[in-house]
Chains A and B, each alone.
Chain A
Amino acid sequence: MSELLDEEQAQQLKRMQRMKIMRAIDLVTDGGDFYQQAKSLGTEAARALGRDKRSQITGLESLANSSQKVTDVFDYIKLRTARQKEWRIESFGSQLLDFLEQTLPKKRQEVLDHTGITEPGLAQQQDIYMLLIRTFLAHLAAQYEYACQEQGGT
């Protein structure tokens, strides 16, 4: 009985911590440089890839939403950049990779600061990193669609 209770309490704690993390991610990613960067790269994606390569942006977003590994996202961007010249226009692929690899880990620390979690486990750190990537790419994809529309559906 007490074991069941402990298990339930542990689950409850986990749920509360998850909610704290989600709230902190909203705070860190809503507005400011995070959104501006996503907007800028979304516009860049529309310019470089155009409407014809839409599946590559939706593919990137779906991969990020389904994968548990941040490096799957990095590898996808690297391969697209290597194989599709459009990803190399204005260094779009490299810029995106740099932001995800260099800047987002700092945002992860901001998220942790907001939650008050002082000693996050490895899995928790990766989880937050992945959530930040998903949020960023969702903004980028939305801006990409919008910018394509603005360009007249080209």
Chain B
Amino acid sequence: MPVDPAVVNALSDTVLYQEAMAFLHEHANFADGSKMSNSQLVGLLTYSRNWAELMAYVKHQVGRDWVNKAHYALFYRSLLKYLDTPPQGLRMRVKSDFNLLVKGLTRKEERDQIYPWAQALAQEFMQHLVAQAQFQAATNRGH
């Protein structure tokens, strides 16, 4: 089925928000006490409007030479895993956890349907992640 905004809203409120909080808590409280920089966060938010661009961006960030900021590479690796690594990546969960695809689709039809859902869910996740990260940085408050 095509992306249903009501379903995206419900998943955003009940699943993705909590997952964004947990993800940030687990992966962005860097051991050296530093936080994700604002430019990194804005980048994530911008690219999350398109799944292919988001994936290209995150993979590029994983592969970058971070010199003395190796924790960023770890953060992006974890993010890539959350979004797109089988079997529990967000893209796979469109079908497996959230049951958002109709039955009996061909591989191509499934692929055509899965990406718009994955993009819509990823965008919600990023919105929550970035808002919480900026809030934490400004208030020094965890969740």
Chain A interface (Cβ < 8 Å from any Cβ of B): 68-71, 74-75, 78-79, 81-83, 88, 91, 93-94, 97, 122-123, 126
User: Is there a chain A Cβ closer than 8 Å to B141's Cβ?
Assistant: yes
Which stretch from B11-19, B67-75, B99-107 is at the chain A interface? Answer: B11-19
Given A81-B139, A94-B139, the answer on whether A71 and B13 have CB atoms closer than 8 Å is yes
Q: How far is the CB of B115 from chain A (nearest CB, A)?
A: 22
Is A69 a contact of B13 with CB atoms below 8 Å? yes
Evaluate contact between A79 and B135: CB separation under 8 angstroms.
yes
List 19 contacting pairs A-B, 8 Å CB cutoff, sorted by A: A68-B5, A69-B12, A71-B12, A71-B17, A71-B128, A74-B131, A78-B132, A78-B135, A79-B134, A81-B135, A81-B139, A82-B131, A82-B135, A82-B137, A93-B139, A122-B14, A123-B6, A126-B10, A126-B14
Q: Are B134 and A69 in contact (CB under 8 A)?
A: no
Main secondary structure of the interface of B (DSSP, over half): helix
| Inter-chain contact total with CB atoms closer than 8 Å | 51
- CB-CB under 8 A from B14, the residues of chain A are 122, 126
B138 CB within 8 Å of chain A: yes
B9 at the interface (CB under 8 A from A): yes
Return A149 CB to nearest CB of chain B, in Å. Answer: 29
Counting CB contacts under 8 A, is B127 at the interface?
Answer: yes
CA distance A81 to B133 in the complex (A): 12
User: Are the C-beta atoms of A74 and B17 separated by less than 8 Å?
Assistant: yes
Q: Which of B13, B124, B128, B134 is most buried by chain A, counting CB atoms within 10 A of its CB?
A: B13
Give Cα distance in the complex from A94 to B124, angstroms: 22
In Å, the complex CA distance between A88 and B134 comes to 13
Contacting residues, chain A, for B128 (C-beta < 8 A): 71, 75
Contacts of A75 in B (CB 8 A): 127-128, 131
Q: Which residue of A lies closest to B20 (CB)?
A: A71
A69 to B13, CA, bound (A): 6
Q: Within 8 Å CB of B141, what residues of A? A: 94
CA of A71 to CA of B9, assembled, Å = 9
- Tell whether, in the assembled complex, residue A78 and residue B12 are in contact, meaning their CB atoms are under 8 Å apart: no
Q: How far is the CB of B105 from the nearest CB of chain A, in Å? A: 25
Q: Across the interface, do A81 and B138 meet the contact criterion of CB distance under 8 Å?
A: yes
- Select from chain B the residue with minimum beta-carbon distance to A76: B131
